Structure 1
Amino acid sequence: MRKFILKLTSTTVVIYLLLSGLQLIIDFYLKKDSCCNNNTWHHIFEGEVQAEVVVLGTSRAEVHYDTQIIKNITGLKTYNIGLSGTHYNLLKIRWKSYLNHNKKAKILVLDYNSLLDSESLFNKFQYLPYLNTNEYGEVAKGVDKDYYFEKFIPIYKYRGYKMNVYNQIKSLSNPDFCSNNVNGYVENDINWIQKDQLSFNKIIKRDKAKDIFSVKNYKKGLAVLREIIRDCKANNIKVIFVESPSYYKSSEYMAFNKKGINSIIRKISMDNEIKYYNFSKDSLCFDKGNFYNSMHMNKVGVGVFSKKIAEILNKEK
C-alpha cells in the first residue's frame, strides 16, 4: 500500500510539473509582442507604453482615437489602452496594469462610456497569460468563480480555448490574423452595417419602455472612475473627460440612463476641475458615412474626430 501511495504521489507530481511546464510555454508565446491581438497587454506589462497622452475606455475608446493622427498634430506620443467590451468596474485591470508598469502620461483622455456595472469578464482569454498578476487577481477573484481553480490547477485556465491558443500562436508568423493596430488604436475601415442597425432598433424599442435611472447599477463603475481620478492627481496626470460621437439615433438607447449618468459626470468633472467635452451632438453624429454601426465610427469618422481631439490637446498641454 505504501509503495502504491508513493508511486501515485510521484506520478501526480510528474504530471503536475509537466502540465505546469506546458502552461508556462503557452503563456510565454501568448505574451509575445508579435502575438498581435494581445500585444497591447504585452506593451503594458513590459513597461513599453512610454506615452505623453493615454486614452482609456471601452470599445469606443479603442476604435475612436487614432494615435498617429493625434501625435502628428500635437507632437505628443499617444497610446490607446481602450479595451472593447469592458465596463469600468473591470477596466480597473487595464488601468492599474498601465499605472504600475509604465512611465506616467501627462494627459489621460477618459472616454467614460460603459460605467454600468458588469459581473463577467468579456473576452476572458486575453487575460489568461497574466492570470497571476496582482492587477488581474484583485478584480477577477471578485467576479470569476473559477479564478482560484485556474490559478492553482495547471493548464486548467486554457480549457475550451484550444483554437484561441492555436490562432494566437499562429499569428506570430502570420499577420493576416491581426487587427490593424497602431499603438492600441484598432482601425475599422468599413462602411455602415445595416443588419447591425436593425438589431439595434429592436433593443431601442425594448428600452423605450424603461424610464427609471438607478445609480446603484453604476456604483462599482463610478468607484473605479473616482479611483482613476485620485491616481491621476497623485501622479500629476491631467484628466480630460470625453463622450465621443455616436450616430444620433443611438441617443434613444437607454436615454433614461444617459441623462442620469451625464449629470453625475458633470458633477464629478466640476468637483475635480476636469474639462468635459461632449461630442454627442457634434456634426459627425448625423452622417452614417462616419460610422459602421450606431455606436462606433469607421476610419473616416475617426480621422475627423481625432483631429478635433488633437486640437483640444494642443490647448490643454
Structure 2
Amino acid sequence: MILPIPLLYGLNYIVDKGLQRSNYIYYSEWNDLFAGKINADLLICGSSRALQDISPAILDTSLGLNTYNLGMDGTHFSIQYDRVKMYLLYNKAPKYIVQTMDFTSFAERNSMDNQLQFMPYLSNPIVIEYTAKYKDHYSWSERYFPLFKYNNQWPIIEEGVKSYLGHGMPPIKIKGYFAQNKKWDYTFDRYIQRVPYPVGVHLAGYSLNRFYDYLAFCNKKGIKVIIVFPPVYYEFLRYCKNRDYILGIFRNCQAKYGTTFLDYSNDELSRSRDNFYNSQHLNKGGAEIFSSKLANDLKPLLK
C-alpha cells in the first residue's frame, strides 16, 4: 500500500518526535544531550568500553559529583570527539572528562559506524554539519523525503509511534551506562584459533591528530581530561603486537596537554574471566568492581 505524501510527512513527524523522547538504545543519551538535561560535572566518554565498563551511579556516590556516561558502542575516536563538541552546544562544560581508550581507537575509519543514531535529528543543522565529513553521511533523500531514512527499520518506527503515544520502552540504561549481565562468551577463544599470532594495529594519522586536537580543545576550555584504559582480559595483551607503543601515546600526553593516564590494561581484574563477557568488555560484576576502583583512583585527581 502506498500512503499519500502528506500522511507520510505526518508519520515521519510522529516517529521523529517519539524517538526524541524514547529510551531506545540508540537515542536516550542523544535525547538528554540535545535537551540540555545532562550538565554533568564529570563526563565519561569513549566507545563501548566506556558505555559498558563504567557506572556513573558508583562514581556519583564515591566522588560526590554529577557524572554521566556518553560512551558510544562500536565507535572510533573521531565521532566521540564530535559528540563532546555537540554536548557543549547544549550543556554546560564539565569540569572533568574520563576518556576511555583502547588499542583500536586510532584505527583508520571514516564512517559514523551507526547511521541510525542520528535519524530523528536530521532537521538539526548541527547534526548535518558534524556528520557531513563521514563517507556514510546522510543523503538528500534521507534528509527530506518522509520516512526514507527509516527504510525497513520497522522496530524503530514502531518504537517512535509508541513513544509518541506515551507507551515507549522503559529505560535500559542508567545515566548512559549499559550494564551487561553476561558470562564469558568464548569469542576470544575462537579468535585465537583463527589468528594464533600477535597482530599490529595500524594507527591512522588523521585519527591520532584529532585526538591531539581534542586534548588541546579540552585544555583550552578548562576541562581536565583523564585518559583511562579499562581492563582487558590478560591473555589478549600478547596478541596486540604494538600495545606498548599505543599505551606510550597516552602516557606522553601529560606534559603537553595536562592529562593524566590511568592504565588498567593489566589490572588484577584482568586475570579472571569471571569479570568479562569477552576479551575487551567487562560484565556487570566486573564493571562495578572496576568503577569502584576507578572512583578511588580519581579522588586525588579531581581537585
Q: TM-score, normalised by structure 1?
A: 0.84
Aligned-partner Cα distance in 1 for 2:298–2:263: 15
Aligned partner letter, 2:14: I
1:149 matched to 2:141: yes
* Alpha carbons of structure 1 residues 148 and 199: separation in structure 2 relative to 1, 3 Å: farther
1:127 matched to 2:118? The reply is yes
Q: Does structure 1 retain, via aligned residues, the 8 Å contact 2:107–2:202?
A: no
Equivalents in 1 of 2:162, 2:25: separation in Å?
10
Instruction: Answer with 269-278 or 282-291: which moved more.
Output: 269-278
Counterparts of 1:154 and 1:174, CA distance in 2 = 22
Letter in 2 for 1:173: H
Distance 2:143 2:81 in 1: 20
Change (3 A) 1:234 1:71: same
Looking at structure 1, the residues matched to 26 and 138 of structure 2 have their Cα atoms a distance apart, in angstroms, of 24
**2:226 counterpart of 1:232:** no
1:70 aligns with 2:70: no
CA distance in structure 2 between the partners assigned to 1:73 and 1:300 by the alignment: 17
227 and 149 in structure 1: CA distance in 2 versus 1, 3 angstrom threshold: farther
| Alignment-mate amino acid for residue 140 of structure 1 | T
Aligned to 1:239, the other structure's residue is in SS state strand
Match of 2:128 in 1: 137
Deviation per CA, 1:258-298, whole angstroms, max 9, x where unpaired?
33322222222332121111001110000111111110001
Select the residue among 266, 289, 293 that pairs with 1:308: 293
- 1:121-174 deviation line (CA, Å, top 9, x unaligned): 323212101123344323432321543331233321111212332245547636
Separation in 2, partners of 1:41, 1:311: 29
SS for the counterpart of 2:277 is strand
Q: CA deviation at 1:191?
A: 1.7
CA gap of 1:101–1:117, structure 2 versus 1, over 3 A, is farther
Cα deviation 1:46-87 (Å, max 9, x = unaligned): 011121110000000001111101111111111000001011
Structure-to-structure mapping, 1:90-105, within 5 angstroms:
90-105=79-94
Tell me which residue corresponds to 2:150.
158
- The answer to whether structure 1 residue 110 and structure 2 residue 96 are counterparts is no
Matched to 2:30, the amino acid is W
Structure 2 counterpart of 1:89? 78
Deviations 1:22-50 (A, max 9, x none): 22221100110444652111000001112
Structure with greater helix share of residues: 1
8 Å contact 2:219–2:258 — kept in the other structure?
no
Contact 2:14 2:160 in 1 (8 A): no
Flag the 1:36–1:197 CA change in 2: closer, same or farther, 3 A. Answer: closer
Q: Distance in 2 between matches of 1:292 and 1:169?
A: 34
Distance 1:95 1:203 in 2: 37
Aligned pair 1:223/2:214, yes or no? no
Which runs of 5 or more residues in structure 2 are unaligned?
A: none
Q: Does 1:284 align with 2:269?
A: yes
Partner SS for 1:86: coil
Q: Let me know the Cα RMSD of the aligned residues.
A: 2.4
Find the aligned partners of 2:220 and 2:12 in 1 and give their Cα distance. Answer: 37
The SS at the match of 2:92 is coil
Is 281-290 or 93-102 further displaced after alignment? 93-102
Q: Deviations over 1:185-211 (max 9, x none)?
A: 1111222112x2333324643x63x45
2:17 and 2:161 map into 1 onto residues whose CA distance is 10
- Match of 1:252? 238
**Contact 1:92–1:139 (CA under 8 A) maintained in structure 2:** no
Specify the SS of the correspondent of 1:281: coil
Write out per-residue CA displacement over residues 227-268 of structure 1, whole angstroms, 9 at most, x where no aligned residue.
Answer: 322331232111101100011112134x23433322222222
Aligned partner of residue 218 in structure 2, secondary structure: helix
Radius of gyration: which is bigger? 1
Residue-pair matches, total? 295
Aligned with residue 182 of structure 2, among 190, 205, 211: 190
TM-score by length of 2: 0.88
Choose which of 262, 269, 279 in structure 1 pairs with 2:254: 269
Amino acid at match of 1:232: C
